[in-house]
């Protein structure tokens, strides 16, 4: 299966095959931590 299409990354359009996000990205490290830290009071 071949991926086709484009993604908008770092202010420019790039092929999906070249659109990579580093695991060290701030949003990945801290954005997911928000969901782990939320308590639900019902």
pLDDT single digits (tens) 1-31: 565 789 898 899 999 888 888 777 777 677 6
Q: What is the model's pTM?
A: 0.45
pLDDT of residue 20: 86
Residues ≥6 apart with Cβ < 8 Å to 14: 6, 7, 8
pLDDT of residue 37: 61
Name residue, tokens 């299409």: 5
Residue 41 pLDDT > 60, yes or no? no
Q: What residue ranges do the domains of the chain occupy?
A: 6-37
Q: Which helix (H) or strand (E) holds 9?
A: strand 6-9
pLDDT of residue 25: 76
* Structure tokens given for 20: 């990579």
pLDDT of residue 12: 92
């Amino acid at each position: 299966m071949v991926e086709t299409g484009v993604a908008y990354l770092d202010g420019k359009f790039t092929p999906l095959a070249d659109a990579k996000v580093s695991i060290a990205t701030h949003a990945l490290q801290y954005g997911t931590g928000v969901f782990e830290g939320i308590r639900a009071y019902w």
